[in-house]
Structure 1
Amino acid sequence: MRKINKYILILAAGVCFTGCTKFDDDINTNPNKPAKVSGTQLIANSEMYLPGIANNAYGSLYPQYLANTTYIDDARYTTVNFNFYSLYYGPLMNLESVINSKTLDGNEGPVENQVAVAKILKAYFFWHLTDRWGDLPYSQALKGSENLNPAYDKQEQIYDNLFLLLDEANATLTNSTGAIKNDIVYGGASLSWKKFANTIHMLMALRLSKVNENKAKTEFNKALNAGIIDNNAANFVYKHLAEETNENYWYTSYTRQGRNWYALSKPLVDLMQGTADPRLATYADKNAKGNYVGLAYGLSDAVKVEEYSLLGSNLRKQTSPVYLVTYAQALFAKAEAAKAGWIPGGDAAAETNYKQAIEASVRQWNNNDVTGLDNFLTQPEVAYTAAEGTRKIATQRWVHLFLNGYESWSEWRRTGFPVLAPAPNNNNKQIPRREGYPTQERLNNTNNYNQAVSSFPYGGSDNLDARVWWDNPNK
């Protein structure tokens, strides 16, 4: 495990050997229950769940970044129900404890900043959850034994509450009295947390483009004007360590377990090769014959691994970072907003932000090496045009979000780009639009579960085909 300045979460219990004057005080004090809560250690523990939001096999299969070389059923949508409990009783319960605590330790940094960071992370985790499942326990959740059967909030209401939560955090973060301790992402820097909060606020607003464009535009501009991630150094990134308990998921899979179960998909490799994309050498290794070859998605039989391009070696090192929210994402969002008329500049501004987004992406993935970038930007499939602007922005965002599968899947569901075909031989199933609730909810929270399923915004059953609220099928 990580040491105290390397993310380990140990509550130090002080033991009094000298200077104790009251015997009653000694025997009535629990050394394992400090008088003040270590909010920053609860925050750090919550942050350790962040890689799982992006480094997730199913998340990377839905938007077709990867294809299975074996255990091919995963890409044929055979798993319907997914469990969300670990995020509730893990990071979200930790963060709720910080938000509601009256005894946070000011020696670990400004108390208002500890609470604000907890609110931002709570918003980020719930955003991820609701975009996968739709309606969820929210307002009645995280109450412990006080409410074991929480009602489900509508996704629209969850979004409204998350916007407010981010506003509250932004209003209280201060730079005046130092950084909070134990923050393993931004080192406690409040300005970095402000930019991250505003960026996810802006990205969340974009998600509403097909259900409430006026609100989407208002929330988008509010966040943009408050200050967003403005360079790659400010990216929201989880950095792994050179130790087994804190290593990259893909290192564990490919190297520690020797499981070459995933190759890059044919749709992704074909697109990148066809446009001379300089990121391909980072995303993929060449096959045994020295070529980049993508694997057709969702085949019905296992394949010979050596014939296909596996995930790039630099992305599956023990210490490989996980990119969660990035400068390039923010620029792609601005490009789309300009194209839609939400911000000034029209197609000229859209093109500028689009090109800057691609450059930021290439710099992020290729360690600031922009070799081949100029040629890439002139490729017919890449060069911005007014007529194809929306499609090209969405497609290049898809390329950029590589391995951040659930986020990319959400953007694909919202925009419909790039055009992807469902896996063949899958009993006529389409690419999933949501994930099914945990099967335990049918037994543990029956009435609230049934109510949630019966009121899906566009109908359907608790399966992969129903749509979340912002995934409007009529637009």
Structure 2
Amino acid sequence: MKQLYIGLAAMFVLTATGCNKFDDDINKEPNNPEKASATQLIASAQQSLPDIGSAFDKNASPYGIHYPQYISGTTFTENSRYNTVNFNFYPIYAGPLMNLQEAIRVASNPNEGPVPNQIAVATILKAYYFWHITDRWGAVPYTDALKGREDFTPAYNTQQQIYTDLFKSLDEANAAFVAGSIKNDIIYNGDVSKWKKLGNTIHLLMALRLSKIDPVKGAEEFKKALANGIMESNTDNFNYVHLVDKVNENFWYTSFTRLKRNWFAVSKPVIDYMQPLNDPRLPVFADKNVAGNYVGLEYGLPGSVSVVINNISLLGTALRQQNSPVYLVTHAQALFAKAEAAKLGWIPGGDGEAKANYDMAIQQSILQWTNSSNGAAEFLEQSQVAYNAATGLRQIAEQRWIHLFMHGYEGWAEWRRTGYPLLSPAPNNNSQEIPRREGYPTQEIANNGVNYSAAVSAFPYGGADNLDSRVWWDKP
């Protein structure tokens, strides 16, 4: 598996040239491309974004959605019982990250530019992928990774080192943008103002991750990102929009409609939280059962249990259309972060500012998920929802958990950081607690054993390479 660190970007970008999501007119001969442009490499990296919700394997059952207990398995329940310990990060490095590294190199070539906007966009996407990786595994190859033949066995950087460098990279990207747009952009259609706001919003959300481990640094980075300009409306959301065609369809459409697999029901914890509040988002998240009721499926059922599909609520039909979008970083998410930052004293305004941002976050979340503001005012008036200074941090965390529905790895990260909502481990899992991190790919022991062993021995809170050890910011 040494190919993880070999420069194979050209091979991966060729999958993008046949996709109708962006132009391929940069090739003199479409059937025999001479080389990939920076924007084509960026577009190829963008195509991997929805895979964040399915563990970078569209042919496998997703894992991230199970950790924060968004989904319960109806047929194969191993994922919700945490049976898999080691997960493979190789495809992320060899695919989107290698493409982005090559895009930065190509755009930086004097014969090609330099093109500041291309480099800035590639830098933001690279930071987003590395943020995802380090929040799942902790210490990972970073500084020495993506060097191709120069280094087959890269050392691991600590998560603290990675976060520090990602903050720096996002600062540089924010400062680098110039007037103009970029081609082949399948996310924002070349609008670099939206890319700039995305980079700063990622910076803001990363800063909040430090609330337990380094609140001083967290507040500093948070205020910097806020001053640089974050998302201002749902039109700024970082969404991956699928297409009405087989090659570019939503994963859940493939699973439910094309493969006829009713394997994913909305969990009992989600429906039990939302239904008593008449949450306007529930009809989007879940379908009613044949009796016309919302019934969540118990989480972590043993594999021997037979589920009667007609009795439970499957994942909502609206979320599994062929062209259903995947929400990755959103305006409401940033507003929840601002609400928490105000409550923590990171930004001025105290509980008044926390309430204002909390209320707006819920309103924008309802608008995002339902395409309407109907019901938002009534929802916020309920005593269990209305902001209360005494329980503010918990309310913010729980409503953020609902908002992040189906973005499992992000919901899981926020659960690890805040402890909310109060979730119980799956009951049929040999006493395994809810995971705190994912184990490294088993191939690393053979391919990069010295650096792998050094990383494990340096875990910030001790432990083994398993699901129970904690990443750096997840301070006990």
- TM-score interval (norm. to shorter): over 0.9
Corresponding residue SS for 1:72: coil
**1:388-446 deviation per Cα after TM superposition (whole angstroms, max 9, x unaligned):** 00000000000000001100100000000000000002111100000000000011100
Q: Aligned with 2:265: secondary structure? A: strand
Whichever residue aligns with residue 398 of structure 1, its letter is W
Following the alignment from structure 1 to structure 2, what is the Cα–Cα distance between the partners of residues 313 and 104?
50
TM-score, normalised relative to structure 1: 0.92
Tell me, yes or no, if structure 1 residue 344 matches structure 2 residue 356: no
How far apart in 2 are the matches of 1:284 and 1:462? 36
2:140 maps to amino acid: L
Q: 2:337 aligns with which of 314, 333, 346?
A: 333
Offset at residue 3 of structure 1 (A): 5.9
The answer for the alignment partner of 1:18 in structure 2 is none
- Aligned residue for 2:375? 372
Point out where structure 1 has 5 or more consecutive residues left out of the alignment: 16-30
C-alpha distance in 1 between matches for 2:17 and 2:406: 25
Indicate whether 1:123 and 2:138 are aligned.
Answer: no
Change (3 A) 1:456 1:277: same
For residue 306 of structure 1, report the CA deviation from its aligned partner: 1.2
CA shift in 2, pair 1:136/1:8, >3 Å: farther
Is the Cα contact below 8 Å between 2:27 and 2:34 reproduced in 1? no
2:206 to 196, 204, 207: 204
Match of 1:22 in 2: none
**In the alignment, is the contact (CA less than 8 A) between 1:335 and 1:349 conserved in 2?**
yes
**Residue in structure 1 matching 2:231, options 225, 229, 232:** 229
SS at match of 1:324: strand
Could you tell me how far apart the structure 2 residues matched to 1:464 and 1:197 are?
30
The 2-side partners of 1:427 and 1:195 are apart by 45
Does the Cα contact within 8 Å between 1:60 and 1:406 map onto a contact in 2? yes
Q: Residue 169 of structure 1 aligns to which amino acid in structure 2?
A: A
The more displaced of 342-351 and 50-59 is 50-59
Deviation at 1:14, TM superposition (A): 4.8
Please tell me whether the aligned partners of residues 81 and 439 of structure 1 are also in contact (alpha carbons under 8 angstroms). yes
Matched, 1:54 2:53: yes
2:99 is the alignment partner of 1:103: no
- Runs of 4+ residues deviating >4 angstroms: 1-5, 8-11, 104-107
After superposition, residues 256-275 of structure 1 pair within 5 angstroms as: 256-275=258-277
1:180 equivalent among 177, 182, 199: 182
- Distance, in Å, in 1 between the alignment partners of 2:22 and 2:298 is 40
* Equivalent residues in 2 for 1:352-431, closer than 5 Å: 352-367=356-371, 369-431=372-434
Deviation for aligned residue 1:370: 2.0
Equivalent in 94, 113, 120 of residue 117 of structure 2:
113
- 2:316 matches 1:312: yes
> Partners of 1:380 and 1:66 in 2: how far apart?
27
Q: Which amino acid aligns with 1:53?
A: I
Contact 1:166 1:197 in 2 (8 A): yes
Residue in 2 aligned with 1:79?
A: 84
Q: Secondary structure at the match of 1:186?
A: coil
Secondary structure at the counterpart of residue 434 of structure 1: coil
Question: Post-superposition shift, 1:100?
Answer: 2.2
CA-atom RMSD, angstroms? 1.6
> 1:13: Cα distance to partner?
3.1
Amino acid at match of 1:377: L
Q: Report the counterpart of residue 300 of structure 2 in structure 1.
A: 298
Is the Cα contact below 8 Å between 2:271 and 2:294 reproduced in 1?
Answer: yes
User: Residue 43 of structure 1 aligns with which residue?
Assistant: 42
In our comparison, the structure showing a higher alpha carbon Rg is: 1
Aligned length: 451
Q: Deviations over 1:362-383 (max 9, x none)?
A: 000001x222222211222211
1:305, CA displacement in angstroms? 1.2
Does the CA contact (< 8 Å) of 1:39 and 1:104 recur in 2? Answer: no
Which segment is superposed worse, 53-62 or 436-445? 53-62
Structure 1 counterpart of 2:65, which letter? S
**How far off its partner does 1:189 sit?**
1.0
Contact 2:358 2:396 in 1 (8 A): yes
Report the Cα distance in structure 2 between the residues aligned to 1:471 and 1:180, rounded to whole angstroms: 37
Q: What CA distance in whole angstroms lies between the structure 2 residues aligned with 1:314 and 1:128? A: 26
User: Is the counterpart of residue 6 in structure 1 residue 25 in structure 2?
Assistant: no
**1:54-85: CA deviations, max 9, x gaps?**
35521110000000001111110100000000
Do structure 1's residue 147 and structure 2's residue 151 form an aligned pair? yes
* 1:167 correspondence with 2:171: yes
The CA distance in 1 between the partners of 2:373 and 2:361, in whole Å, is: 13
* CA distance in 1: counterparts of 2:226 and 2:125, whole angstroms: 19
Match of 1:24 in 2: none
SS of the residue aligned with 1:453? helix
Distance 2:261 2:211 in 1: 40
Partners of 2:394 and 2:284 lie apart in 1 by 24
1:463 paired with 2:463, answer no
Q: CA deviation at 1:33?
A: 3.0
**C-alpha separation between the residues in 2 aligned to 1:55 and 1:199?**
23
Aligned mates of 1:161, 1:73 — CA distance in 2: 36
Q: Percent same amino acid among aligned pairs?
A: 59
* 1:5 CA drift (Å): 5.8
Query: Match of 1:13, as an amino acid?
Result: K
Q: Distance in 2 between matches of 1:3 and 1:138?
A: 31
TM (normalized to structure 2)? Answer: 0.92
2: CA distance, partners of 1:246 / 1:99: 26
Aligned with residue 73 of structure 2, among 45, 64, 68: 68
